[in-house]
Each structure stands twice: as C-alpha cells, then as structure tokens.
Amino acid sequence: YFQQTDIPMEKVKLDMEDRKNLYLILKEGINNIAKHAEATKASLEVSEKNQKIIFTLTDNGVGFEIDQKTEGNGLRNFKERAEESNFELKIESDAGKGTILSICLSH
C-alpha cells in the first residue's frame, strides 16, 4: 500500500548522496518487513507537515525490542545514513506490535 498526499515534490531538493541515503533506508526497511516482520500489511505514506516531507513505512508484523546493546547492522546503518543526510529518523517498535519507520526531510 502506498499513499502520497498533494506534496510539491519539486520543492524537495536532495543531492545525489541524500537521494541515495533515502532510497537505501527505505529499501532496507522494506527488505526487513519482507524478511523478518511476518507482516500481513505494510504501507509507505509520503506526507507534508510543517514545511517537512515525511516518509512513513509501517507494518503490522511481530515488531522487535529496540535495545541499543543488541542493535544490529541494520539499525546502525539507518542511523548513520540519516545523520549523514541530516534526516530526522524515528523508529518505533515493540514485540508483537509492528514497526513504524519515519524519515523527515526539510524542504
């Protein structure tokens, strides 16, 4: 499921590296849903709020406990890519409750 609200995408200016980081974060998020989440539903929503574009990837899968001590390469890669491109990254998940990955871009 994909939903995009009326967003002036031409206002979103991303250089090549930022586009790559956004793509790789979303690609890995979708890959994680397919490989690990055991989800029956997943969605990607693109919206605008307070002059920011927000990409929200959500699933209804098994979720996981976000624990800094056992953080794997995937979460570390998400955070490093987001920091490199100055994206605001938020990951919400609890065991049995699915996962929400949000990436916020200023425009």
In this predicted model, what pLDDT tens digit does every residue of 8-59 receive, in sequence order? 667 678 999 999 999 999 999 999 999 999 999 999 999 888 889 999 999 9
* Tokens 């605001």 found at: 88
Q: Is the pLDDT of residue 70 over 90?
A: no
Give me the percent of the chain exceeding a pLDDT of 90. 64
| Domains of the chain with CATH codes | 2-106 (3.30.565.10)
pTM, rounded to two decimals: 0.87
Q: Is the pLDDT of residue 69 over 60?
A: no
Tell me the pLDDT of the chain averaged across its residues: 88
Tell how many helices (H) and how many strands (E) occur in the chain.
Answer: 2, 5
Cβ(60)–Cβ(93) below 8 Å: no
